[in-house]
Amino acid sequence: MLHNHDPTLSVSCPEVTTEMHERLNFPKVELHLHLDGAVRFDTLIDLSQQKGISLAGAKTVEELKKVLVTHEPANLSKVLEAFEIFLPVIRGDLAAIERVAYELCEDQHNNGVVYFEGRYSPHLLLCNDYPEVTAAHVVAAVKKGFDRGEKQFGIKARSILCCIRGLDKKFPQLILDLATDLKQLGVVAIDVAGSAHGADEQYEPEVVAAFQEAFKRGIHRTVHAGESGGPKEVLRAIEDMHAERIGHGYRVMRDEQMYIDHFVNSKTVHLECCPYSSVMTGAVPLDWKNHPVSRWAKDDVNFSISRDDPTCFDNSMLSELTLAHKQVGLDVHQLWKAQLNAARSCFLPENEKAELVKLVEAGEPPRP
């Protein structure tokens, strides 16, 4: 059960001051980012005008932000509605998909991110207006954008392919086979989410079977769990689906013993935390000082900090870290440690991962 939203409350991302920019100048790594939820507002306006596709009547960036960005905590429906408004200007358009991937690299570079993984379901970026475009074409377009971004900004980016609960029963196998066949296009893992960006975690047998087969094939696995579901969904992801990382996972805190056993005493499973998103979707109540990430940092749990869907939240990596520092209370060294955790838990090959870890270690700030 997600927390009910209160329309009288209004929350925004914190402003990133020059001082915070300087204090957070270590290399950053982002692991939980939906590529199709990370599109620039001005790009959406541009594509909308080119194609004559309305964005709920929005003609300027300011108008579009009012349409897409939620400021009411626990308003998952507003977040989900946003995708139905803006995805039609991107679907099926390989040039637009490449552009989104490339621009994301630039935005990440401007926030000091040196490596990130963008997740998406390629089939949800297809469109009947472009019948010749396949899921593999979508992955190739993302790779082209990432390659351009790497060349221009020195940033590294890889793809995670998402299964979506409730679609055709053949879908998980299709995603698994794409991830198997398209490693040369930068695909490093598979994921599953309850809806395109929603939260129902009752995964079908076909999804579980695909993750078990991914484990056998040596394909990395991350699973959305403990966002709308509880500790038992997190446990199922770890034990039945061989999850190496958990997307969100906040509600594991409802079972203290399971939390201690799987995340404090053992550090093998990584938690992908998205603080701002967690409150805006209602996964966690609006009480920053008692946010799960506060406890995770105190317990030195293996977690990282990400943005989830910046097109819906208007957040950056710097704003997310500022929020974790000023509102939740993590110190700068703990924020850096989250980057090190992310580097160690990323899905790069071991030799590239070792280089990334070294890069992040070199940026360690002084302890408080």
**How many CB atoms within 10 Å of residue 57?**
9
Q: Is 103 a catalytic residue?
A: no
DSSP state of 308: B
> 134 — phi, psi (to 5°)?
-110, 170
Whether 280 contacts 12, CB under 8 Å: no
Question: Measured between alpha carbons, how far is 196 from 82 in angstroms, rounded to an integer?
Answer: 12
CA 1 vs CA 158, 226, 227: distances in Å: 33, 11, 10
CA 150 vs CA 105, 179, 188: distances in Å: 7, 21, 17
Strand partners, 221: 190
Three-state DSSP state, 220:
strand
CA 225 vs CA 35, 235, 354, 362: distances in Å: 19, 9, 28, 33
Two tokens, residue 274: 């998205």
Strand partners, 82: none
Choosing from 227, 233, 244, 272, which is the catalytic residue?
227
Q: Is the four-CA dihedral 283, 284, 286, 292 of positive or negative sign? A: negative
Question: Measured between alpha carbons, how far is 301 from 230 in angstroms, rounded to an integer?
Answer: 18
Q: What angle do CA 258, 244, 310 make, to 5 degrees?
A: 100
Q: What angle do CA 3, 243, 147 make, to 5 degrees?
A: 95
Q: What angle do CA 19, 22, 23 make, to 5 degrees?
A: 85
Strand partners, 247: 224, 272
Q: Is the four-CA dihedral 265, 279, 97, 173 of positive or negative sign? A: positive
Instruction: Report the catalytic residues.
Output: 227
